[in-house]
Structure 1
Amino acid sequence: MHFDEILSVIGGFGKFQKLLYVWICLPQIFLAFHMLVSIFSGAVPPHLCRATWPSAGAPASSNLNLSASDGRPQLSCTAPFNHSGAIDLGNGLPAGSCQGGWEYSTETFQNTIVSEWDLVCDNANLNNLGSSIYMFGLLVGAVVFGCLADKYGRRIIILVNLAIQAIFGVGAAFAPNFYVYTALRFVVGTSISGVIMNAFVLGTEWTGSKQRMLAGLITDYFFGFGYILLAGVAYLIRDWRKLQLAISAPGFLFIFYIWVLPKSARWLMANDRKEEAWELIQKAAQMNGKPLTKDLEMCQVYKIEEKTGVKKKHSIIDLVRTPKMRKQSLIVFYLWFANVLVYYGLSLNISDLGMNIYLTQMIFGLVEMPARTITLFTLNRSRKISQLAFLAVGGTACLLTIFIPSDLSVIKTVLAMIGKFGITASLSIIYVYSAEVFPTVIRQNGIGIGSMCARTGGVLAPMMYLLKGISPQAPMVLCGLCPLLGSALTLLLPETANKPLPDTIEDVEGSNLR
């Protein structure tokens, strides 16, 4: 008997699954905190160099002017140049010789890693490097914990990563210097990938085919809620150390997951642990109020067809070993990469709206909610059409911005927001689609490599704007062409809406999903 048939008998989204989603979704709020906290903790306040030799009888602070004549923040690295080409600090010293130290405005931020460790001017690249190292941690976590979850199970990897996230997140709040802070944040990044991927897969593998899209969308909503909530938390806590502690310390409360988070019965069966899986199935059936029939109870097995009679070992190589699996894997990997590249690329491009940073953060979170909501009405009809349609909308809107004159900034912004709307919806869909394209025996490997490709896109997104040196329109051209190519490639993927999940590679190669 196929596991999806068992779910149809015991309930594909009953009380057992609903309680499971409570446990899956709660950490998503804190994952959003960790993912986006650098917007506030790594912010660069207005700053100037203290004069080493102030005018006679005047305090050093009298030489500071953190605002230009028009009221905008005056940064030290954009001060007027003197006749020799060096930045004039008003004390006869060039910018690189700021012996008196930097003075930072505390109007918006009480303290950030930039103001504490002077990550400005010549040291500003260290701040960007720290962000890249954190994103690299997400990439490493996607690969490492994707493989480990296929080997040891979803539940244990989630528990381990929640512990890592809390311990190293709190540690980062007490980091003595920038380098220790960056190393700790790197480890936090690896744990975030481990939780995001495995929580999603655990939910997917316990959910019936008709309700399976909820696995991605419900968790996305909670991540979006964390996106919005962070604006309020950061507004109330203006010191980066206290903010880091506030988003990390509650992670220790997840210790009770040891007793409440279930294993994946589908994974247990695929790994020949049928007795353990059957106990979980009986528990789920009891909680859902659907007692098992005698025939189903006597079956007690979920068999994966093995022609050789020997249990097969699976690895990442199986993702590309056979023709159909190879084609589908490579396309899904590209979709992960393109979605995240453009998502972060657009976020960086439209963030300069001239508004309060906390309000901007909240607006960006709110914009994503309609994008996630609309997929509720499209996914059950077709995963394939939904994916290619939203990619096409996002890519087309981005391309249209290059034809809008620079003086029509409102129209450009609206188009960019439409582009972000399409990409956000597409990003929600790719989670669900990926879990249905990859078979159970290599599903976590597939999701892990896909997440790795996504993180590669995240690392490259800030660098995309270096293309402005070639052409001012180049970044938006790239943001338009990548989704459009992905939309075309999606035509080659199978339709998986309301279909049983494939469990073996043979299911994929011999399937009639198309």
Structure 2
Amino acid sequence: MPFQELLDQVGGLGKFQILQMVLIVPFLVMTACQMFLENFTTVIPGHRCWVHTLDNDTVSDNDSGILSPETLLRIFIPLDSDLRPEKCHRFIHPQWQLLHLNGSVTNMTEPDKETCLDGWVYDQSSFPSTIVTEWDLVCNYQSQKSVVQSLFMAGMLVGGLIGGHLSDRFGRKLILRWCLLQLTIVGTSAAFVSNFHIYCLLRFLSGCSSIIILANDGMLITEWIRPPSRVMVITVISCAFSVGHILLGGLAFVFREWRTLQLVVSVPFLVFFFSSRWLVESARWLIINNKPEEGLEALRKVAYTNGMQNAGDALTMENHMGRRTTQTLFMFLVGLSVLVNTFVPQEMQTLRVALASVGISCAAASVTSFGVHMLELIPTVLRARAFGLETVASRCGATLAPLLMMLMEYLSILPWIIYGVSPIIAGLAVLILPETRNLPLLDTLHDVKNNKEFSRKVNEINSFVKVTKF
């Protein structure tokens, strides 16, 4: 009996699937916090060079009643083109004569400056500490800040490749639990390290774990879902990811010290590790990996939990338009919003924000649609590997996108034209792929061979139903 028929008998969207999602959704929310943690832990606060007279606590106030700190700052720190204190230089010698200048003097010789040899003083009004203030990642060392973010993304790339293979080989649940434990250890350890290079290594390992958690969470949910309900479930997964973004902002507002925030978003994974023991391994994976008894036991557990009741159908725009049409439509709208916004004047901020909001919304919708389509195109035996390759492609895109901004040297709007045209072309390319709407998930390579014929028959049935209703 095909697995789809077994799933229909035990319940394709019932109490079991809901409980499975309740367990997994928190994993997704907190993993999103881990992925975007550097948005807050690597904030560069306002800073200037450390000055002995101003910042040494053992030095007297130097007649501070006569000279205010702002006045003393003008003596020791040069001003930039915006007449603000420079962030990376100080005067070699105090420039007392500047106190007597009411305006700029064009013929005045520029005083000798030097870099911040004694460190920096940071504005701690918003964030008491970040990894930037911890390891002085500013001025000549500012590029090292990007290293942390790049290493996390590199970890996701490596984890996508390795994790996909391991998940197809050893199972979704086992690898998921291992990564939950690994993320607990490396994430918590990162909150206590005092060495920048060790911190970078731990964030790399966090990236490896995070992407595997995301992929296996998705598979442990969707491989238990009937086709009519799959779109709704994947939409919930996407919403959980967005909730993680919102939650991270709230946590960063409450816990503004970077070590505390790092700890807060890492410790919950220990709870997730213990709660994951109640997850049920994918029966699809068990059956096709010659573990029919374990697969049957999992199906019995699902049938018992669901009370053998069938779930109702979930109607969405996707079960009406199809996977290919939906992706093409949304990606076309993404590209169109970027292209239109490119030529809207800067003064029309309301229109620009509206177009950007439409573009982001359509991009999120296209990602959800892509997740559904990819899930249904790839058989169970290769699904985790495919998710790994998808991760590699997305990381390459994330790496390439900022580099395109260098094309502004030749034409200011050229990068934005590329950003707008690319999704339109990609959306048209989706039409080459086969339609998978209302088709069961593929399990083996043999199913892939039969999919084309099965798809044709389903389309014929759908057409007949539509004509009859008409």
Report TM bin, short chain.
Answer: 0.7 to 0.9
Shift of 1:124: 0.7
Q: Which residue of 2 aligns with 1:332?
A: none
Q: Which residue of 2 aligns with 1:371?
A: none
Q: Which residue of 1 aligns with 2:430?
A: 490
C-alpha offsets along residues 123-159 of structure 1, whole Å, 9 cap, x if unaligned?
1110012111111111111111011101111000110
**Equivalent in 185, 195, 199 of residue 203 of structure 2:** 185
Q: Which residue of 2 aligns with 1:14?
A: 14
Shift of 1:51: 2.5
Q: Does residue 1:478 correspond to 2:413, yes or no?
A: no
Shift of 1:466: 2.6
Q: Does residue 1:389 correspond to 2:329, yes or no?
A: yes
**Equivalent in 128, 131, 134 of residue 116 of structure 1:** 134
Alpha-carbon separation, structure 1, partners of 2:331 and 2:47: 41
State the AA in 1 paired with 2:227: S
Aligned runs of 1:77-476 on 2, under 5 Å?
77=88, 92-94=112-114, 97-290=115-308, 377-381=316-320, 382-476=322-416
Alpha-carbon separation, structure 2, partners of 1:238 and 1:396: 38
State the AA in 2 paired with 1:33: C
Structure 2 SS opposite 1:495: coil
Alpha-carbon separation, structure 2, partners of 1:100 and 1:58: 23
Q: Which residue of 2 aligns with 1:76?
A: 87
Alpha-carbon separation, structure 2, partners of 1:376 and 1:40: 39
The 8 Å contact of residues 52 and 99 in structure 1, kept in 2 or not, is answered as: no
Give the aligned length.
422
Shift of 1:69: 12
Alpha-carbon separation, structure 1, partners of 2:84 and 2:175: 46
Q: Alignment identity in percent?
A: 34
Alpha-carbon separation, structure 1, partners of 2:281 and 2:237: 18
Q: Which residue of 1 aligns with 2:100?
A: none
Distance 1:505 1:64, change over 3 A: farther
C-alpha offsets along residues 339-365 of structure 1, whole Å, 9 cap, x if unaligned?
xxxxxxxxxxxxxxxxxxxxxxxxxxx
Alpha-carbon separation, structure 2, partners of 1:61 and 1:144: 56
Alpha-carbon separation, structure 1, partners of 2:229 and 2:218: 14
The 8 Å contact of residues 186 and 203 in structure 2, kept in 1 or not, is answered as: yes
**Equivalent in 59, 62, 65 of residue 57 of structure 1:** 62
How does the TM-score come out when normalised to structure 1? 0.77
C-alpha offsets along residues 296-325 of structure 1, whole Å, 9 cap, x if unaligned?
xxxxxxxxxxxxxxxxxxxxxxxxxxxxxx
C-alpha offsets along residues 470-504 of structure 1, whole Å, 9 cap, x if unaligned?
32212221211121111110111121121111222
Q: Which residue of 1 aligns with 2:99?
A: none
The 8 Å contact of residues 11 and 309 in structure 2, kept in 1 or not, is answered as: no
Alpha-carbon separation, structure 1, partners of 2:137 and 2:84: 17
The 8 Å contact of residues 89 and 116 in structure 2, kept in 1 or not, is answered as: no
Alpha-carbon separation, structure 1, partners of 2:73 and 2:186: 38
Alpha-carbon separation, structure 2, partners of 1:207 and 1:73: 59
Which one has the largest radius of gyration? 2
Shift of 1:36: 1.3
State the AA in 2 paired with 1:130: V
Alpha-carbon separation, structure 1, partners of 2:305 and 2:368: 29
Structure 2 SS opposite 1:453: helix
Alpha-carbon separation, structure 2, partners of 1:29 and 1:70: 43
Alpha-carbon separation, structure 2, partners of 1:78 and 1:123: 14
Structure 2 SS opposite 1:103: strand
C-alpha offsets along residues 32-60 of structure 1, whole Å, 9 cap, x if unaligned?
11111111100000111123466992689
C-alpha offsets along residues 158-185 of structure 1, whole Å, 9 cap, x if unaligned?
1011011111000111121221111100
- C-alpha root-mean-square deviation of aligned residues, in Å? 2.9
C-alpha offsets along residues 236-290 of structure 1, whole Å, 9 cap, x if unaligned?
1110011101111121112323530111100111111111100111111111111
Distance 1:51 1:205, change over 3 A: same
Alpha-carbon separation, structure 1, partners of 2:22 and 2:372: 18
Shift of 1:451: 1.6
Alpha-carbon separation, structure 2, partners of 1:188 and 1:171: 11
Q: Which residue of 2 aligns with 1:363?
A: none
Q: Any gaps of 5 or more consecutive residues in structure 1?
A: 83-89, 293-374
Shift of 1:412: 2.6
Alpha-carbon separation, structure 2, partners of 1:78 and 1:397: 42
Structure 2 SS opposite 1:206: coil
Distance 1:153 1:50, change over 3 A: same
Distance 1:376 1:427, change over 3 A: farther
Q: Which residue of 1 aligns with 2:451?
A: 511
State the AA in 1 paired with 2:363: I
Alpha-carbon separation, structure 1, partners of 2:69 and 2:196: 27
Alpha-carbon separation, structure 2, partners of 1:463 and 1:474: 12
Structure 1 residues 30-39 or 474-483, which shifts more? 474-483
Distance 1:79 1:461, change over 3 A: farther
Q: Any gaps of 5 or more consecutive residues in structure 2?
A: 55-59, 96-109, 457-470
State the AA in 2 paired with 1:134: F
Aligned runs of 1:28-47 on 2, under 5 Å?
28-47=28-47
Structure 1 SS opposite 2:451: coil
State the AA in 1 paired with 2:367: L
Distance 1:27 1:73, change over 3 A: farther
Distance 1:259 1:134, change over 3 A: closer
Alpha-carbon separation, structure 2, partners of 1:116 and 1:207: 47
Alpha-carbon separation, structure 2, partners of 1:144 and 1:40: 29
Distance 1:505 1:73, change over 3 A: farther
Shift of 1:61: 6.1
Structure 1 residues 486-495 or 49-58, which shifts more? 49-58
Distance 1:72 1:479, change over 3 A: farther
